[in-house]
């Protein structure tokens, strides 16, 4: 079987166990690698037109350079020593776009690490899954979803998140609406498997067996691949520990019933479709004034937290933020840009603004 042409894509919201799942799949068989996510498609898919005509090598090389930034300027960087020039040469005559570059780089890295295919868990894959399915006919998908109330609780604990139950509820409902729509179309073609976070953590062995059968892959002992970690981050704090089998239903202990009821009123349609039951007051519907006030207070809390938080400018997270800011600044550039060195990419230094040729 040509595993390089049968990659796995995890469609999921953040804080729903996608990093846990990619690691557990990697550890349970010998064919697919789930590396730390570069989020190529999240950051480059919609920016592609601004790089200019990809038939010109200098434009596509700039695109490759930014893709490499996403791999290297990271708290968990890839173990590579690639340059934009070397990637361009080895890329060959494949179609030049975000999906095919991601596919090429993920496969290249997986093979260098001793695997035959890859697992991609980029954020917002529900936005691109239709094109991915068309461009990579052998690809299979996993829709991983989580109880919205535990999702909201987890988001509220993130230092960088917007601390608003209303905003997080709307985010979950919006993302599940898109994820359910594309995942159901893919499931009808036997290309997508639905897995809940709660089932994954409570029945891990059985869930992985079902997943490997869906992928037509036999179990293995894994290749002991470990993400390289430059620094600890809140979001990955549990990945090196055994699976927390009781890590569900925590909202019942940690969220006030009023907030649970508000979340359920916003997420009811999607959570019911996914099999989650209400526990709060079904008659409680927040007023527009409350919805607005909760969102405003959440934004205020985030602003205050950012003022008092001490950001280490030398941290990998800060350097990545600088890289993303620079990429947004340069998104309209498509020619005449001198590429920076690998050392500069690793340091996350901003490039000078490029010339814009209308």
How does pLDDT run along the chain (358 residues), one tens digit per residue? 899 999 999 999 999 999 999 999 999 999 999 999 999 999 999 999 999 999 999 999 999 999 999 999 888 899 999 999 999 999 999 999 999 999 999 999 999 999 999 999 999 999 999 999 999 999 999 999 999 999 999 999 887 777 889 999 999 999 999 999 999 999 999 999 999 999 999 999 999 999 999 999 999 877 778 877 665 665 566 666 778 888 999 999 999 998 999 999 999 999 999 999 999 877 667 777 777 777 777 777 666 666 666 666 667 777 878 888 777 766 544 434 434 444 444 444 443 333 323 2
Helices 165-187 and 148-156 pack at an angle, to 10 degrees, of: 130
Q: Determine contact, residues 25/9, Cβ cutoff 8 Å.
A: no
pLDDT for residue 246: 85
Residue 75 CA neighbour count, 13 Å, CB half: 12
pLDDT for residue 236: 61
> What number of other Cβ atoms are within 10 A of residue 273's Cβ?
13
Q: Determine contact, residues 11/144, Cβ cutoff 8 Å.
A: yes
pLDDT for residue 194: 98
pLDDT for residue 351: 38
Which residues, 6+ apart, have CB-to-CB distance to 196 below 8 Å?
144, 145, 146, 274, 275
Residue 192 CA neighbour count, 13 Å, CB half: 24
Measured between alpha carbons, how far is 180 from 203 in angstroms, rounded to an integer?
23
């Amino acid at each position: 079987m040509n595993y390089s042409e049968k990659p796995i894509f995890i469609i999921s919201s953040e804080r729903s166990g996608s990093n846990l799942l990619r690691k557990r799949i990697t550890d349970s068989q010998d064919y697919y690698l789930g590396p730390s996510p570069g989020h190529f498609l999240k950051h480059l898919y919609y920016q592609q037109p601004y790089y200019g005509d990809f038939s010109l090598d200098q434009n596509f090389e700039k695109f490759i350079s930014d893709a490499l930034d996403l791999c290297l300027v990271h708290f968990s960087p890839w173990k590579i020593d690639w340059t934009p020039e070397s990637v361009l040469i080895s890329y060959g005559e494949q179609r030049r776009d975000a999906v095919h570059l991601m596919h090429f780089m993920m496969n290249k890295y997986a093979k260098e690490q001793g695997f035959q295919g890859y697992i991609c868990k980029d954020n917002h894959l529900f936005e691109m899954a239709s094109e991915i399915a068309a461009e990579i006919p052998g690809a299979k998908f996993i829709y991983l979803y989580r109880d919205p109330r535990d999702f909201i609780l987890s988001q509220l604990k993130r230092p960088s998140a917007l601390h608003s139950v209303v905003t997080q509820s709307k985010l979950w409902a919006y993302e599940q609406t898109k994820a359910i729509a594309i995942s159901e179309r893919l499931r009808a073609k036997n290309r997508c498997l639905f897995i809940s976070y709660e089932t994954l953590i409570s029945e891990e062995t059985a869930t992985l067996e079902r997943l490997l059968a869906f992928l037509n892959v036999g179990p293995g002992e894994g290749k002991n691949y470990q993400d390289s970690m430059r620094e600890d981050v809140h979001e990955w704090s549990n990945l090196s520990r055994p699976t927390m089998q009781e890590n569900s239903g925590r909202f019942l202990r940690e969220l006030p019933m009023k907030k649970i009821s508000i979340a359920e009123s916003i997420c009811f349609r999607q959570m019911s479709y996914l099999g989650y039951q209400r526990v709060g007051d079904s008659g409680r519907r927040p007023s527009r004034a409350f919805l607005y006030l909760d969102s405003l207070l959440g934004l205020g809390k985030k602003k205050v937290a950012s003022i008092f938080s001490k950001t280490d400018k030398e941290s990998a997270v800060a350097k990545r933020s600088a890289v993303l800011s620079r990429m947004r600044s340069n998104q309209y550039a498509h020619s005449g840009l001198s590429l920076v060195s690998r050392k500069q990419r690793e340091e996350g230094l901003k490039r000078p603004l490029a010339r814009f040729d209308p």
